[in-house]
Amino acid sequence: MKTVSKIIIYPIKSLNGISVPSAKLTSNGFYNDRKFMLIDVKGNNMITLREFPTLYQLKLRFIDQEVIKLENEKNNQIPLIINLINTATNSEIKKVKVWDDLIDVQPWNEEADDWFSEALGIECQLVKMAPDFFRQVDKRFASIGQGVLFSDGFPFLICTESSLEMLNNELEKKVSIYHFRPNIVIKGGLANEEFNWKYLTINDHKFNSFKPCARCQVISIEPDSQIINEEILPLMSKKYLKDKKIIFGLNACWEKRTGVNSLKVGDSVICINKVDL
């Protein structure tokens, strides 16, 4: 029997995720997931863990469903409180590139900009997607009209505990599921069987449009210490390679349904394999 063992939300792209007991589903991902992103003001470029592993030092948690608190564990900064539903509709619109997509964004507020600029040592801004902007998921995998916010390309990322366990059996220095930054973690089943899934249902919620998730050097960063695990990329480049890319986990979309649109830890998972169709 397969079940949901973790639900993780990342309110700000490239910062730590927050494990929650339940979460509301939207077609763009979990509610408040990747709602914000940091950009480098000088170049109008997105800021990610690839260039700034110290982002892992910025710890955040929900105070309630709409408010997060951020603390810089390596600095004596006063904690920052962000209300996720305070909008900034009158702020200027900028264009920022997120991989292959050019996205319209708006700065959130100056207090947040100052806090993150001090934390990272560069002039940066916290931005949200402009209200009228739509970002299409890759049409090779998803239907027209399937959108996503600031995730790398898909609304959801699914990983399994069994695949992580198999990987750790080959690593001297073990890694956690947080290295791979999933939204949904599934317990039960066989290692790497997810790559044979056509779709899955979680309490009747259907997830599909699967695309194996290509991985970069971010998975080698230890979230708690920012120390680089020198073992993981060489190993995975030999044993977890597909089309010359390291893969682990599945990108996915959700088919909207009527009824209660939420998931919770412990929900049952049913997987339909490609060979079963």
Q: Which long-range contacts (CB under 8 A, 24 or more apart) does 190-196 make?
A: 190/162, 191/160, 191/162, 191/163, 191/165, 191/166, 192/162, 192/163, 192/166, 193/160, 193/162, 193/271, 193/273, 194/158, 194/160, 194/163, 194/249, 194/250, 194/271, 195/247, 195/250, 196/273, 196/274, 196/275
- Cα(72)–Cα(58) distance, rounded to whole angstroms? 5
- Cα(71)–Cα(144) distance, rounded to whole angstroms? 39
- Cα(140)–Cα(134) distance, rounded to whole angstroms? 17
In this prediction, residue 277 has a pLDDT band, given cuts at 50, 70 and 90, of very low
The pLDDT tens digits of the residues spanning 51-70 come to: 999 999 999 999 988 999 99
The pairing of beta strand 184-187 with beta strand 156-160: parallel
Q: What is the pTM of this model?
A: 0.95
- Which residue's entry shows tokens 């077609």? 27
pLDDT above 50 for 271: yes
The pLDDT tens digits of the residues spanning 35-49 come to: 999 999 998 899 999
The CB density around residue 39, as the number of other CB atoms within 10 Å, is 24
- Cα(34)–Cα(14) distance, rounded to whole angstroms? 9
Task: Give helix then strand counts, H and E, for the chain.
Answer: 3, 20
Classify residue 76 by burial, with Cβ atoms within 10 Å: 0-12, 13-18, 19+.
exposed
The pLDDT tens digits of the residues spanning 202-250 come to: 988 999 999 999 999 999 999 999 999 999 999 999 989 988 999 999 9
Domain assignments of the chain as residue spans, ordered by start: 2-29+138-276, 32-129
- Which residue's entry shows tokens 């079940």? 3
Superfamily of structural domain 2-29+138-276: PK beta-barrel domain-like (2.40.33.20)
Region 162-167 average pLDDT = 97
